[in-house]
Amino acid sequence: MTLRLGDTVPDFNQESTEGPISFHEWIGDQWAILFSHPKNFTPVCTTELGEVARLKPEFEKRHVKVIGLSVDPLESHARWSQDIADTQGHALNFPLLADADRKVSDLYGMVHPNANDTLTVRSVFIIDPNKTLRLTLTYPASTGRNFAEILRIIDSLQLTDDHKVATPVNWQQGDDVIIVPAIDNEQAKQLFPEGWDEKKPYLRVVKQPA
């Protein structure tokens, strides 16, 4: 099944390092990031999991729950967790799905057989509180992800939902933003009473809303 932006993400039940997870119920009224790892006891994955543990307060600030997945059994996750704490200085502080039966990996299309027919690629799914898929990323096994970029994407998505603004190329927190095209000038006057810089009728720049 190909998951597309705007789809409701599939629900599932699976074992994790924090007990059985019923996915939609676990998300509750928060945002969620589901991300896959090719395999336990591999170097890049070990660094990624330590980094996500370090960044957990940043995800929480944004009301985002994080959950990892690896196609290895629970007992292996427990041993690997110790290595992550030892080498990265941050112990796992979020659930890691034990997807040895590939239930979730297959449901979410995380195994790309022409890349590798047993391991998952590095997938990222950003899901909003309505369980709608808002972003997907796919990285090869050999490239560790940039989780600062994933936080930046969350900030952009939440600004769009809350303030009807989009974020331009290379936008960083605090930079100017753009009024979304779906908002006409009459509506924009209500939303942005201090006005905007109209570089073109379709390119209206405003300060980032608080």
Residue pair 116/36 in contact by the 8 Å Cβ criterion: no
38 binds ligand BEZ per the rule CB under 6 A: yes
**Cβ 61 to ligand BEZ, closest distance in Å?**
28
Q: How many CB atoms lie within 10 A of CB 133?
A: 19
Which stretch in 34-42, 131-139, 191-199, 200-208 sits in contact with ligand BEZ by CB under 6 A? 34-42
Residue 64 Cα distances to 24, 39, 54, angstroms = 14, 24, 14
50 binds ligand BEZ per the rule CB under 6 A? no
Contacting residue, 43, 57, 113, 174, with ligand BEZ by CB under 6 A: 43
**Residues facing 81 on adjacent strands:** none
**Which one from 21, 27, 45, 177 is the annotated catalytic residue?**
45
Residue 2 or 142: the one with the smaller Cβ distance to ligand BEZ is 142
Q: Is 45 a catalytic residue?
A: yes
Q: Does 112 engage in binding with ligand BEZ (CB under 6 A)?
A: no
Q: Whole-number minimum distance, CB 144 to ligand BEZ, in Å? A: 8
- Structural contact between residues 26 and 33, judged by C-beta atoms closer than 8 angstroms: no
Single out the residue of 21, 45, 92, 124 in contact with ligand BEZ (rule: CB under 6 A): 45
Inter-CA distances, 205 with 138, 165, 193, Å: 31, 9, 13
Question: Which strands form 203-206's sheet, in the order they lie side by side?
Answer: 165-166, 177-179, 203-206, 197-200
Residues near ligand BEZ (CB under 6 A) are: 38-39, 42-45, 141-142
